[in-house]
Chain A
Amino acid sequence: MGIGTPARLSAALLLALAGCRPDARPLARGSALALRGAAADGGALVWVVPASEFRVCAPVASTLRTMQHPAAAALPLVVAYVGPHPEWMAAYLRTQRLRATLVPLTEREYAGRFGAAAVHAVYRVRGGRVETALQPGDTEWETRLRALAARGAAGTAAETPPRAPIHL
């Protein structure tokens, strides 16, 4: 094993785990994104997680959890997990103490329903349509996500609190 092996491994891992898809874009504003668990006429947050980009160390869950406190003011959260092993995401939501509706989809199902490959993103949807899309890694994305949720929460405080996560 050469001296460079650890560096090569790290570089390979980083590339693989980064899930780089330079041409991938989140769904555009106005796109249909109706999923079980999101009120048909109300607002919701939809977190789309391709299995290939499901990184447990990323702070997305932490930010979303913060937004669920207090619970009464939280937007419903729907997690669309796209790919194999949806039970992994179910377990993750439990350990992260996120109240969410999990919608497991295959890549083919997602592409068939929404017309594009799944991209890691958090969407603010209303009435089944995308209002705003944020991608983890965007500039100041956490701040923007908080603002997004706060804006949503202000107008939807009377909505039903999100359901408990489903257990697969």
Chain B
Amino acid sequence: MIRLSPACVLIVALAACRGERADAAAAPREVFTPLDAHVAWGRTLTLEENDDVVNVLVRATPDPRGGFLVADEQENQVRRYDANGRLLFTFGRRGQGPREFVSLNRAFRLASGDLLAVDAASHAAVFDSAGAELERTFRVSVGQLKMAYLLNDSLLLLGAQIQDPRQGDPDAHLHLWDLRANRLAGSFFTVRPTTDAHRFAANTAGLMGAARRGDTVAAVFALSDTIRLFDFAGRPLGTIPLRAQGLRRFDPAMRMPRMDLVSVREWIGSFSLISDLWWLRDGSFLVQYQDREGPEPKWRLVHLARDGRRLFESKDTPLLVAVDPATDTLWFVRPGSPTPNVWASARLRG
């Protein structure tokens, strides 16, 4: 057994003190690095607009036939753009009728060529490949949607909370909707709130993100710093820590806000909200999160290795709207663009 003399202990202690002082004196390590250091910018793409088409709050999905399907939650309109931003067609508008939406979330191309448009107010509609004919409309009984993601031609992944406990677990946040059988096929990703504040945050700001790779689904929840993995039946496959250092983590022990809009917005702005997730071809993840200033999100982007190790993290990034799964091309709203219809492509630097 090694014995340390009192002098030796003192030396070790002083050395430790010096080390702490040196650390304290050093400049704090910068958590964020500029996005430009990590991506190479490519071409600009301007989505065509006209008097009937204005891009406001858009969610874009790469169209397997080329270009993009853009769903605009504010305008309740689906737009198909070609790869150069030319507007090919639109369908949908605000309303409660058969070709109308009240809170359009996202649009997808099915293998048949048909187009699936998902409304956050729990209904979906299938249109023909040109968006001209409405083929069917169906309700998805899972409550207000936070996220929709097409896993394959028969399974639609929905981020939502079931309101009626008789219909399913109200704390399950992901649901598999069987498009062929037109029924709920499973619910998972449970988040059990531990405090009133936790439940309130989960209900009001419970954003979800999902991505797939092979037969695995990766999913994130706004308030949780973990990427959860599932199979297509919703069975858990594992977790990956989301080691974003700039993330202002939600503390379930925090006090509830006063119940007025200003106080609630200030409260929600006091922690980060994980918002979206992409799974790249090399197995790494891009996670987009936001810090809100009132109604306005300030975007942050973190690139994580497959094991959750942080590769880079940038703040005040332009909104990442889409990633082409075939090429890993990233599509951002072009930095500095005041409108969301001007995009810029980018590739991660090796």
Contacts and interface: CB of A to CB of B under 8 A. Distances in A.
B54 A54 contact: no
B295 A9 contact: no
27 contacts: A9-B196, A12-B259, A13-B200, A16-B259, A16-B260, A17-B259, A17-B261, A17-B264, A52-B262, A54-B295, A55-B261, A56-B295, A61-B74, A62-B56, A62-B74, A65-B56, A69-B52, A85-B262, A85-B265, A85-B294, A87-B293, A88-B265, A92-B295, A92-B296, A95-B56, A95-B296, A96-B56
Contact of B259 (A13, A59, A88): A13
Contact of B338 (A16, A54, A94): A94
Nearest to B194: A1
A6 B203 contact: yes
Nearest to A3: B165
Interface string B180-198: 0000000000000101100
B223 to A, nearest CB: 16
Interface in B26-69: 51-52, 54, 56-57
A97 interface: yes
Nearest to A13: B259
B261 A69 contact: no
Contact of B294 (A65, A91, A94): A91
A13 B196 CA distance: 13
Contacts of A15: 259
Contacts of A88: 265, 293-296
Nearest to A63: B94
A159 interface: no
Nearest to B256: A9
Interface residues of B, number: 30
5 closest Cβ pairs, A-B complex = A88-B294, A16-B259, A91-B296, A69-B51, A56-B295
Interface of B: 51-52, 54, 56-57, 74-75, 94, 103, 170, 193, 195-196, 199-200, 203-204, 259-262, 264-265, 293-296, 338-340
A112 to B, nearest CB: 21
Interface string A45-71: 000000111111101011001000110
A97 B75 CA distance: 12
Interface of A: 1, 5-6, 9-10, 12-13, 15-17, 19, 51-57, 59, 61-62, 65, 69-70, 83-85, 87-88, 91-92, 94-97
Contacts of A53: 261
A4 B260 CA distance: 21
A16 B261 contact: yes
A17 to B, nearest CB: 6
A30 to B, nearest CB: 31
Contacts, number: 83
For chain B, what secondary structure do more than half of its interface residues adopt (helix, strand, loop), or is it mixed?
A: loop
Contacts of A10: 203
A65 B76 CA distance: 13
B295 A91 contact: yes
A88 B259 CA distance: 18
A97 B199 CA distance: 33
A98 to B, nearest CB: 10
A85 to B, nearest CB: 5
Nearest to B341: A97
B262 A83 contact: yes
A56 B204 CA distance: 13
Contacts of A51: 261-262
A25 to B, nearest CB: 21
A58 B204 CA distance: 15
A69 B265 CA distance: 31
B74 A96 contact: yes
Contact of B293 (A1, A56, A91): A91
B79 to A, nearest CB: 15
Contacts of B74: 61-62, 65, 96
Contacts of A5: 196, 199
Contacts of A69: 51-52, 54
Contacts of B295: 54, 56, 88, 91-92, 95
Nearest to B266: A85
B114 to A, nearest CB: 27
Contacts of B52: 69
A39 to B, nearest CB: 24
Contacts of A17: 259-261, 264
Contacts of A96: 56, 74
B54 A65 contact: yes
A87 B293 CA distance: 9
A112 B126 CA distance: 54
Contacts of B261: 16-17, 19, 51-55
